[in-house]
Amino acid sequence: MQYPLSGDEHTAIARCLSNIRKQVQDVSELLANRYGRTSGIAESSARTLVLATLLEHEFSLLQDRATEDRDAREASSLTR
């Protein structure tokens, strides 16, 4: 069962995911510079960055769909 997020919840989660992605990006760059881009730790951090970015994007799409659904319901209720 899906429970839509409130506006405040959405904003808080979006901010948190953005901060996580930025922190992982900083760490990834640091490790790549320190150990070399082809090191195992740098490659792991790069994969983690990709996953954090995908999570942030997927959350954004999920919220966009919820907004579209809500707008469609509101529009249909106005035409009745």
Is residue 68 in some structural domain? yes
pLDDT of residue 77: 77
- In the chain, the number of structural domains is 1
pTM of the predicted structure, to 2 decimals: 0.76
Amino acid (1-letter code) at residue 37:
R
Is residue 80 in some structural domain? no
Structural domain of residue 68, as residue ranges?
A: 8-75
Is residue 1 in some structural domain? no
How many of the other CB atoms lie within 10 Å of CB of 14? 15
pLDDT of residue 2: 67
Is residue 70 in some structural domain? yes
Task: Return per-residue pLDDT of the chain as tens, 80 residues.
Answer: 467 788 899 899 999 999 999 999 999 999 999 999 999 999 999 999 999 999 999 999 988 777 776 667 777 777 76
Containing 4, the helix (H) or strand (E) segment is none
Is residue 2 in some structural domain? no
Is residue 15 in some structural domain? yes
Amino acid (1-letter code) at residue 56:
E
